[in-house]
Amino acid sequence: MDAEKVVAEHYGKPDLENAILAGVAAVGLDPDHFEPDDLAAVDHFHVGGAEAAENVARGAGIGSGMRVLDIGSGIGGPARLFAHRFGATVHGVDLTPSFVATAQSLTRRCGLSGQVSFSQASGLDLPFSDGEFDAATMMHVGMNVEHKDALFREVHRVLRHGGVFAVYDIMVTGEGEPQFPLPWAANAETSFLRSPLDYERELEEAGFAVTGERNRHGFALEFLTRAQARLADNDPRLAGMQMVLGPEGLVRMGHLAQAIRAGTLAPVEIFSQRDGV
């Protein structure tokens, strides 16, 4: 099985951009010109939305003038947030062509094309020079990556000495097995969940020094409760998310909420630094 191909097909929706723009228009905004924050309910496909991305940015010390790589950038919500709110220059990479095209279009419509760019690429084979970035982020991506050790080595390579790598993934935090389908996978074939200890070990083996970790269990449950209600109400701003999640969207979200409530899974932040300053 080509896991990356399956993952790209899982997320890829050719009409995604049109669905998002229709949702923007439905709430009275101009689909050709809007502010990045206008998309906050739409363009963050991870637990906690824009607030979670802002927490990651602060934890990673992202600031003005920094060169940031966002791995698994989706439709570009975190990348635009890092640029708009923190002044960084950001490049996002993603496996899914429709995500990359939508991210580029939304970024242009927000007036951030000079600061934020995207390309289709695998985190296992990043098309960048050694030491090109000051920081890297990865939000809800590792669940679809079997060989995290190879990914972490690639991130280490493209970061400068002392560069920060911030991960925010769903991780195994207790006993039991989650029920499928889940937001990132229809079944266990493309779901590669690991514990925070597993992540920390592989980060250290790749040359990173782990500097912080935070379990966001309570934060996640509050967010998922609100998100499930909004999806059930067919909020037009969530048209893009509904399309990505598919007809089983509420079931997928429900299974994730159940696993988090049981303590089996939780979103966890891990911050690390490339050795050498």
pLDDT tens per residue across span 117-151: 999 999 999 999 999 999 999 999 999 999 999 99
Cα–Cα distance for residue pair 216/41, rounded to 1 Å: 19
**pLDDT over 70 at 219, yes or no:** yes
Judge whether 98 and 91 are in contact, CB under 8 Å.
no
What is the average pLDDT score of the chain?
89
**pLDDT over 80 at 253, yes or no:** yes
Instruction: Read off the pLDDT band of 87 (50, 70, 90).
Output: very high
Q: Which residue has the higher pLDDT, 176 or 6?
A: 176
**pLDDT over 60 at 214, yes or no:** yes
Judge whether 69 and 128 are in contact, CB under 8 Å.
yes
Domains identified in the chain, total number: 1
Strands 208-215 and 133-139: unpaired
Q: What is the pLDDT of residue 276?
A: 55
Domain span at residue 161 reads 3-274
Upper half-sphere CA count for residue 19 (Cβ side, 13 Å): 19
CATH number at residue 107: 3.40.50.150
**pLDDT over 90 at 21, yes or no:** no
**pLDDT over 50 at 10, yes or no:** yes
- The DSSP 8-state label assigned to residue 185 in this structure reads B
Q: What is the pLDDT of residue 248?
A: 78
Q: Which residue has the higher pLDDT, 175 or 253?
A: 175
Q: Which residues contact 200 (CB under 8 A, 6 or more apart)?
A: 210, 213, 270
Across 160-184, average pLDDT: 96
**SS3 helix, strand, coil % of the chain, rounded to 5?**
45, 20, 35
What share of the chain has pLDDT > 70, as a percent?
A: 89
Across 233-247, average pLDDT: 61
**pLDDT over 60 at 277, yes or no:** no
